[in-house]
Structure 1
């Protein structure tokens, strides 16, 4: 079994007339189409077997953006599989400008969806099966939630026992495994987690699933829990504008290796120094977020103290997003210094583990 595929996550496609004028937004949707076209040009030169998009395909679920992307993906020379992100289906009901939740499959019936169900499975190549899940639900007040509904869980319960001797690739927008310290409970991190992640992990572990692909968090990170790797890929419209290419090889029967390489869009027409611009863009908008992080649990320092420390963290989130960061702020108080170290690519024994961008995973 030898095959190659790519991952593009959170491209937030926005045709020019749909680009919002929000001064504090974190991603550069102005480059969304330019960046995607550059990546696709690269991928079209490779002998890819398929391409994955783990959600947030569009800026905010606009009809124009879904139509543009669906048409572009249809023209590619390899199969494409997508799942919806929270930005793709911002409400249950459609509006004049945006699609509703249950309209999503009709736009991407060539990208995994074969009927109006919000989830699917398909054998991509012999011995390799994808499961695409919808992690976007809404409560009675219309608030968007990150969880799997009972219908999908029942479907999975019936499906999983039928999967025999196949490599299973599970794709879902929200994170299932933590990529940040205490992400599941942290007031800033938990909204990126699947609410019923422990249940999904238990189900996947029962069938020896080893791979989950997610987006949403806009960071390059590979996490591991209970025998399962979760590969989350950063946003194409946010620093460092990454995408991944993964080669799967079977050196001997019964073993598989995943060779993960990451690439960056460093420039596009009109944005020749895109990396520098986007890193500064995040840095310029980081102060309020860093103050929230410092004043939140577990640090809970005062607003005044947080405002003193936040400027030193100007590029902290950019470096988290890039993956493989190692963090040390020696002038911070010991408790705060130790907390930020936990965001780095460090094993429990204190040694570095730079696996977020380039690594060989043996399954």
Structure 2
């Protein structure tokens, strides 16, 4: 098997008239379209087989943004496969400006959704390679958005996987299935990025030998593992460090290389600008992290330590970083050290951006 493909996530496409100009926002949506254009220009030189887009295609589910992206993807010379993220279907009913939950497949019939009655699909994307795409957005009776799978989806998934046991399977889903941050499933800042019923999904993937999951949502570059299953989450094109991935299936390996957008036509120093943007908006984030379990620091201590950690989230988003903050008390320093790219012995394990993973 020799296949080359790309992954770009959390595009958050926003036409100029739809851009959220909240001064405190993390998302640099004003760069969403030029950033995608830069990536597509690079990909056009590579003779790709396909492109995976694991959700948050639009800023907030706007009809005009979905239409723009649909038209753009239709011009590409390779196949594209998408799934919805939480921003793509922010409400069940939709309104005059945003699409309804059930509308999503109609916009992307050329990009995986041949059956417009379902938000999940499967197809063979290369000889011996099957894609299973799962929608992880649901709504409860009060129309609150959830990140989970339904019982019917699990039934469909088992039936699907039982019929492709002779193929390599890629699973694409927006929410994280394997933790990318320490205790992510329980932390106030991390748990909303996790699939609520991730353990149930993992048990099924383990049962059928599915080895690769492609996700987004968290806006960081990270590869995490669980019982031989690899989850490759790709950062957002509109937040630092503006990454995307190019991958190859070759010689019984999945070879992963990451790239970053460092400049745009009207922004020569995008990397520096967005790193500073992220760091300058990190104070409230770090305050929450310091005052919440397991640290539970007093407010006065948190206010003293938060400025020392202003680059922490930008470094997490970059991937392959190790941490040491000797100016912090030892126990707090130890806590933040565990967020680094290290193995169980505390040694550097730099696989978040570039890696070679054996298929079998």
For normalisation by structure 2, the TM-score amounts to 0.98
Is 1:102 paired with 2:98?
Answer: no
2: CA distance between counterparts of 1:333 and 1:179?
25
Q: Secondary structure at the match of 1:318?
A: helix
Deviations 1:189-233 (A, max 9, x none): 000000000000111111111000000000000000011000000
Tell me which residue corresponds to 2:312: 316
Q: Secondary structure at the match of 1:6?
A: strand
Tell me which residue corresponds to 2:44: 44
Tell me which residue corresponds to 2:202: 201
How many residues were matched structurally?
358
Displacement of 1:109 = 0.5
2: CA distance between counterparts of 1:104 and 1:335?
47
2: CA distance between counterparts of 1:128 and 1:286?
41
Tell me which residue corresponds to 1:353: 349
1: CA distance between counterparts of 2:327 and 2:261?
34
2: CA distance between counterparts of 1:24 and 1:226?
39
Q: Secondary structure at the match of 1:130?
A: strand
2: CA distance between counterparts of 1:154 and 1:355?
33
2: CA distance between counterparts of 1:279 and 1:331?
22
- Mapping 1:120-269, distance limit 5 Å: 120-250=121-251, 256-269=252-265
Displacement of 1:151 = 1.9
Tell me which residue corresponds to 1:26: 26
Tell me which residue corresponds to 2:299: 303
Deviations 1:159-180 (A, max 9, x none): 1111121110000000000000
2: CA distance between counterparts of 1:303 and 1:318?
23
Deviations 1:280-337 (A, max 9, x none): 1111110000000000110000111101000011111000000001000001111110
2: CA distance between counterparts of 1:153 and 1:41?
38
1: CA distance between counterparts of 2:42 and 2:153?
35
2: CA distance between counterparts of 1:180 and 1:360?
22
2: CA distance between counterparts of 1:263 and 1:180?
22
Unaligned runs of 5+ in 2: none
- Mapping 1:75-90, distance limit 5 Å: 75-90=75-90
Tell me which residue corresponds to 1:294: 290
Displacement of 1:43 = 0.3
1: CA distance between counterparts of 2:5 and 2:354?
15
2: CA distance between counterparts of 1:91 and 1:121?
25
2: CA distance between counterparts of 1:222 and 1:75?
31
Deviations 1:249-269 (A, max 9, x none): 13xxxxx21111000000101
Tell me which residue corresponds to 2:336: 340
Q: Secondary structure at the match of 1:357?
A: coil
- What is the CA RMSD across the aligned residues, in angstroms? 0.7
1: CA distance between counterparts of 2:320 and 2:21?
32
Tell me which residue corresponds to 2:92: 92
Unaligned runs of 5+ in 1: 251-255
2: CA distance between counterparts of 1:347 and 1:27?
31
1: CA distance between counterparts of 2:299 and 2:130?
50
Runs of 4+ with deviation above 2 angstroms: none
For normalisation by structure 1, the TM-score amounts to 0.98
Q: Secondary structure at the match of 2:307?
A: helix
Q: Secondary structure at the match of 1:281?
A: helix
2: CA distance between counterparts of 1:110 and 1:150?
27
1: CA distance between counterparts of 2:249 and 2:190?
31
1: CA distance between counterparts of 2:131 and 2:24?
37
